[in-house]
Structure 1
Amino acid sequence: MPVVSEQMNRTDRMYAIVEELRAIAPRPRSAAWLAGRFEVSTRTVERDISALQQSGVPVWAEPGRTGGYCLDAAMTLPPVNFSPDEAVALAVALRGLSGTPFHQAGNTALRKLLVAMRETDAHDATELAARIHFVGARPEAPPIPAVLTQAVTARHVLRLRYTDRMGTSTVRDVEPLGYVGSTTGWYLLGWCRLRVGIRAFKLDRIDRVTATAERAPRRTVRPDEIQVPDGDLLTLTLL
């Protein structure tokens, strides 16, 4: 069971909450019980749980008099023996996902790893990461809407407002086929119903996106059908 101290900071407390919920999973713990355990207010516990959920940790609320918060043990990792150096090495590597469709998934994966590490190792990794600085870093890429990445994974037809290289904007329905990475950026590969063919849409030129309820049919893509207008093809991920 995690050790409670008066100086426990928020990061340590969140790790400890996860360990507490893992220890009794799938049974729940109430916010009041957790507040007493970690000597904080129930509001603080609720904020911590909300932050964990937003980070992708599978913590669920069970309603009712005997309810509370529980951890989906099937969706998390047991304690892992990553060293602080190994965890930070992964964090540095995942930084390269900035501007790609996998940026948010990389952040979520890293947080899941941290909460699965031993509390002392996770704390040391957090401290080590704070001492790493990047000089001359590239500008932050515009965020890719979560609705786009989620719909691509689920193969839902997308409605896009897209601005091409000439500055012309169109609205079109697109059946997502995957992603293409080139030396100049990342593209959504899809069957465009407006152009009746496969097109690559540069992600930073998608002005608006809506996921429809329609499931896209599966299509076979040949390499010669993939036309990336800018740069050389580096990565291709098909659904």
Structure 2
Amino acid sequence: MNRTARLYALVEDLRAAAPRPLTVAALATRFDVSTRTVQRDLQTLMETGVPVRSIPGRGGGWSIDPAMTLPPIRLTADEASALIAVLATADSTTPYAGAARTAAQKIAAAMTGPASAAAQELAARIVTLPTRGDSAIRTAVEQALATNTVLQLSYTDAAGHESKRVVEPVGLLTAGGRWYLIGWCRTRRAGRGFRLDRIAAVAPTNEQAQPHDLAELLRGSAAVGAVQPTALASLGPPP
């Protein structure tokens, strides 16, 4: 078993045993390697963001939170190459770009042989012209959407006028190569779209936002015909 396959097998063994921890000695026996090799593999998993942790003391060992990981997903070589290519195009202005890059790295690391060579060759053909973006602002918007919390914004409109806004984030819209935060603006008491590159400053809060319907906020706007990308629509709740 090569190291990549062993790393994935380690995660699955820990998932299967969770919440019960497994000892390094037991894992070393399971994979017929030294305890030092297992320790090194577990450290690698931790460094790549896999939620494994060491539990000290009697009855301790290594464990994983199964809610924070995914079971193996069987991708064809073409599917894996396509994902790497798409994820590689995420730049500093794209929401969740950091997670996209690490996901692409994990997919690439899991591929071997001709499939890996083909994916690397395809990725080498894709280039992007870097654009400037404030990663701190983008990260704050990402977290507010994920946690459904209110944001305080300093926003500059198309005419160059800056204003302070209190916004309940609802969703993200992409159009014409730009990204917009769609939300309920408490300041204007209406749904509004805020272009991410025009947000001058953002102050997160701990206040929970009220629920709003994204389609309702877009109704009557230039984005009334906005639809979910096909790949994402299938992830939503049933109609």
> Considering only aligned residues, what root-mean-square deviation do their CA atoms show, in Å?
3.9
Structure 1 residues 93-143: Cα deviation after superposition (integer angstroms, max 9, x where no partner): 33455443243454465567678xxx6xx3345443332313553325634
The reply on whether 1:226 has 2:209 as its aligned counterpart is no
1:101 aligns with 2:95: yes
> Does the 8 Å CA contact 2:54/2:61 hold for their aligned counterparts?
yes
**Which residue is equivalent to 2:233?**
none
Indicate yes or no: 2:112 matched with 1:123. Answer: yes
Which residue of the partner structure matches residue 232 of structure 2?
A: none
Contact 1:181 1:233 in 2 (8 A): no
How much identity, in percent, do the aligned residues show? Answer: 34
| Residue among 197, 215, 219 paired with 2:190 | 197
Is 1:63 paired with 2:55?
yes
Indicate the residue corresponding to 1:134 in structure 2. Answer: 125
Question: What stretches of structure 1 of length at least 5 have no aligned partner?
Answer: none
* Post-superposition offset of 1:61: 1.9
Aligned to 2:146: 153
Partner of 1:226: helix, strand, or coil?
coil
Q: What displacement does 1:189 show?
A: 0.9
- Candidates 31, 48, 51, aligned match of 1:52: 48
Q: Number of paired residues?
A: 218
Q: State the shift of 1:63 in Å.
A: 3.3
Give me the TM-score of the superposition, normalised by structure 2: 0.68
| 1:189–1:200 CA contact under 8 A, matched in 2 | yes
Q: Could you list the runs of 5+ residues in structure 2 that have no partner in the other structure?
A: 230-235
Q: Aligned match of 2:66 in 63, 66, 73?
A: 73
**Whole-Å separation in 2 of the counterparts to 1:140 and 1:33:** 49
SS in structure 1 of the partner of residue 48 of structure 2: helix
CA distance in 2, matches of 1:13, 1:208: 45
Q: Does 1:207 align with 2:195?
A: no
Alpha-carbon separation, structure 2, partners of 1:210 and 1:127: 44
Q: Whose RCO is larger (CA < 8 A, sep 6+)?
A: 1
**Which of residues 156, 168, 179 in structure 2 aligns to 1:175?**
168
Structure 2 counterpart of 1:82, from 62, 75, 78: 75
